[in-house]
Structure 1
Amino acid sequence: MHLVKIRVMPNISYISLRKIQQAERNSSTLTRIDKNFYRDVSTFLSDLNNRLIEEKSPKKQILIREELQRIEKVINSIYEQREKKILIAAMTKSRGGDPNIKNILEEEKKLFEEVYNLLISTKRYIIGGKTELEKGEIEIEKEEAKVKEDIKIEENIEKGDEGLKEETLEEFVESKKTSKVNLEEKYSREANTNPVVRILEDVPSFVGLNKKTYHLKKGDIVSLPLDIYDALINRGVAKPISSKLIKKPDEN
């Protein structure tokens, strides 16, 4: 007969496990069990599995397998009952309560803390999430505006406009708008004696009789000397219009 050496676990047996199972069923809080309970049952199950593997007798294998299944069922029942109590305790604490967890084991504390933290963070996200997101979006917009302002100021400093360093972005934009209006008025005064046309397609650069080089692009609205006006109209690349907003043609 082949003998299998089995490690004896003084606190673990089918009978002792059944007692723990019954106690957990009859209590609304965690019962007191040995601090090494999970480690001991793990070792106990490992020994039974080794015994099953090493046993040569088919009949004994059946008996060991049945014993193993019964014990695993009881252990799972104990764990699930304690797990349920831990989840309820975490929920109670998340709602401001003070659950009794004095008999919780070290391995179970991690479950309790993670569930509690998850409940708290989820509640904050669902109930207060929209407000927090809105605050975050406002901060992002502020940062983006600041970055744009810094970039614009740097660009103008490189161009020699040192005075912009102390201007705000709004002041810079407003000053550019004013400059644009002034230029349009200037061009309008200078060109109001010449006919106005809309350029229908890009025109290759050319030099007019006034010795100026013109760079006309599709969509431009410009005031041109009469000789250039006639030439472009005849070629079908310009259309006469009447407009108060006159753009001075690109010229050298």
Structure 2
Amino acid sequence: MDTEKLWEILYKERNTASLQELPENFCEEVTEYMEKLREEKEEADERRRELVEDEIRNARMKVEDIIKRRIGKIVKLASSGMKTTPKGMLAEEEKIFEGVKKHVLEGKERIFALVTGEKGGESEEKREKEDEELAKLTLKEEKKIMGSVPATSQGEELHIVRILEDIPTFMGIDGRIYKVKKEDVIMLPKTNAEILCKRGVAVRFEAEKRI
């Protein structure tokens, strides 16, 4: 590492909107470079010492500018709702990203609760994650069941259930596509009804019939 390489890195960060991937072992190389300059300063004569001091100041300014610009980009990415950690971050930068993302999300929820008067509202990110997990689990169990159920669903018992929360669209074992939302009362094949009740997103009514 030297002042020219630091300038190249700073130039890229200044002139691109995206976060630049730093050279491998960036921190170690900068540390070694600064240590080398400090040692050189101690051993140099008065005239040379002033030049080395200038180089140290310039190096520090470039490093500080690089860090400042990168943190600005990281905060912007985190506050935009980006769910995955961008590539090319240092370990400490990843902590900043996750911390900012968490605080922005919590702040959003607090403001939403303050404005609407609602308490304990779930975040959009949490709701989306739960919907995805429910869809995967439902599909997985349905595939497992479908493997042992004949192609025809004649004679499948139907249950009436009340939906407790919005859930993703899914295909029943009868081949039908079900689009349901909170408070819907719907008749489902027994297998699908049991899966939803087991997941806590639906409750059964006593009414049921056979086809």
Q: Taking structure 1 as the reference length, what is the TM-score of the superposition?
A: 0.43
The within-5 A match list for 1:90-105 is 90-93=78-81, 97=82, 101-105=86-90
Percent identical pairs in the alignment equals 25
**Contact 1:29–1:101, Cα closer than 8 Å, also in 2:** no
Alpha-carbon distance in structure 1 between the residues aligned to 2:94 and 2:44: 42
Alpha-carbon distance in structure 1 between the residues aligned to 2:23 and 2:38: 23
Give the direction of change, closer, same or farther, for the CA distance of 1:110–1:98 in structure 2 (3 Å limit): closer
Give the direction of change, closer, same or farther, for the CA distance of 1:56–1:23 in structure 2 (3 Å limit): closer
Structure 1 regions of 5+ residues with no counterpart? 1-11, 134-252
Tell me whether 1:64 sits opposite 2:49 in the alignment. Answer: no
Counterpart position of 1:140: none
Q: Letter of the aligned partner of 2:63 in structure 1?
A: I
Larger radius of gyration: 1
Tell me whether 1:20 sits opposite 2:9 in the alignment. Answer: yes
**Contact 1:24–1:78, Cα closer than 8 Å, also in 2:** yes
Larger relative contact order (C-alpha < 8 A, sep ≥ 6)? Answer: 2
The within-5 A match list for 1:30-45 is 30-45=19-34
Alpha-carbon distance in structure 2 between the residues aligned to 1:25 and 1:125: 35
Which structure shows the higher helix fraction?
A: 1
Instruction: Report the 3-state secondary structure (helix = DSSP H, G, I; strand = E; otherwise coil) of the residue aligned with 2:119.
Output: helix
Aligned length: 118
Query: RMSD of the alignment, in Å?
Result: 2.2
Alpha-carbon distance in structure 2 between the residues aligned to 1:35 and 1:56: 31
Q: 1:80 aligns with which of 40, 59, 68?
A: 68
Q: Which moved more, 1:112-121 or 1:123-132?
A: 123-132
Question: 1:53-104: CA deviations, max 9, x gaps?
Answer: x2251111101101111111111111111111101000112xxx46782222
Instruction: Report the 3-state secondary structure (helix = DSSP H, G, I; strand = E; otherwise coil) of the residue aligned with 2:17.
Output: coil
Counterpart position of 2:36: 47
Question: 1:119-157: CA deviations, max 9, x gaps?
Answer: 111221222155338xxxxxxxxxxxxxxxxxxxxxxxx
Structure 2 regions of 5+ residues with no counterpart? 121-211
